[in-house]
Structure 1
């Protein structure tokens, strides 16, 4: 007497075997983008080498917000965290793009440059600018934003846009390369 096994049971068994075999290191979803050994990040106040005194504090706040929203990492004030993200504002410029007939600035460009270095507790470099290390321990980020004073925009509003974009780019570099 022959017994027939239902086709659904065979399909379920094959799918179950496929899911349970293979490498155990596979991770799914957004967790696969981030380092598994890192749970906490210490972000000290960003050092500011420019004359615009509030850029460091504003960038620090934006980076912390981005890390908390987009990553599984927890930002902590403890310097003994699993990792440390150190940033430094190295330059800030403003240049005129177009002028009116009376030489008043019509459109301007505000730019900020930041150097960032993300290291683990043991001193290992976690953020690299290139696949092949160049010996430089920090990554340079630059961002600019255009503003038009006649439209009610200011250099501060442009700088805030640039800071938010910089924070997004810095946190994006905290993702693992694949």
Structure 2
């Protein structure tokens, strides 16, 4: 009597293969685990893009060099931009914004140097059909603990290239403000105005300023 041969169990084979594959993946991923609980694989990480050594930021009221007493479209821009930057920091970063009487790790100061309107096009009645506004601010982000200017990376004398938040300790920090600009157009025929363009300028600048506070790759 000839006994029938048992067919190989494909389900068991697939299960064993998956277990081996899973074990291999665990062995590959675990070395990428960082001590702070975040994963880092190649250049991708679950860690925040902001410096974890910084906890607090002081944001004094920005200066405004565009406003002339008695008039000027730039009146009140310092309040609007300062508040927009504070909101952006608190919503997009792990940093806590503190007032001027509270000790802080860093300080972010700004000086509005330009707010201008340029007419792009007029209609047959010489009315403004399209125009644009330009808002510019000078920014300095300083580490109050070390005196380093975080908005201006130190230079590496050995390579002659900037090194983010580091570099040769003998190099003096560059205190030159960083100029950040925002250009926005508006069309009155669509219900837009210089007021709406101004708000867009402020919101865009606040986003750009806070994005500059991220750690470079």
Larger Rg: 2
| TM-score, normalised via structure 1 length | 0.83
Q: Within 2, Cα distance between the matches of 1:23 and 1:30?
A: 10
Q: Which of 98, 107, 124 is matched with 2:148 structurally?
A: 124
> What is the 5 A alignment of 1:1-178?
8=19, 12=23, 15=26, 19=30, 24=35, 27-28=38-39, 29=45, 31-51=47-67, 52-77=74-99, 78=101, 80-121=103-144, 122-128=146-152, 132=162, 135-178=174-217
Gaps of 5+ in 2: 1-15, 40-44, 68-73, 155-160, 164-172
Aligned-pair distance for 1:15?
2.3
Pick which of 162-171 and 20-29 moved more.
20-29
Write the deviation string for residues 148-176 of structure 1: whole angstroms up to 9, x where unpaired: 22322221110100110000000000001
Q: Within 1, Cα distance between the matches of 2:138 and 2:46?
A: 26
Gaps of 5+ in 1: 1-5
Q: Within 2, Cα distance between the matches of 1:27 and 1:54?
A: 42
Pick which of 37-46 and 126-135 moved more.
126-135
CA contact (8 A) 2:153 2:174 kept: no
Q: Within 2, Cα distance between the matches of 1:32 and 1:68?
A: 14
Superposition RMSD in Å: 2.9
Pick which of 116-125 and 74-83 moved more.
74-83
CA contact (8 A) 2:140 2:175 kept: no
Question: Aligned residue pairs: how many?
Answer: 173
Aligned-pair distance for 1:127?
1.7
| TM-score, normalised via structure 2 length | 0.69
Q: Report which structure shows greater RCO (CA 8 Å, sep ≥6).
A: 1
Q: Within 1, Cα distance between the matches of 2:78 and 2:188?
A: 24
Q: Within 2, Cα distance between the matches of 1:15 and 1:88?
A: 51
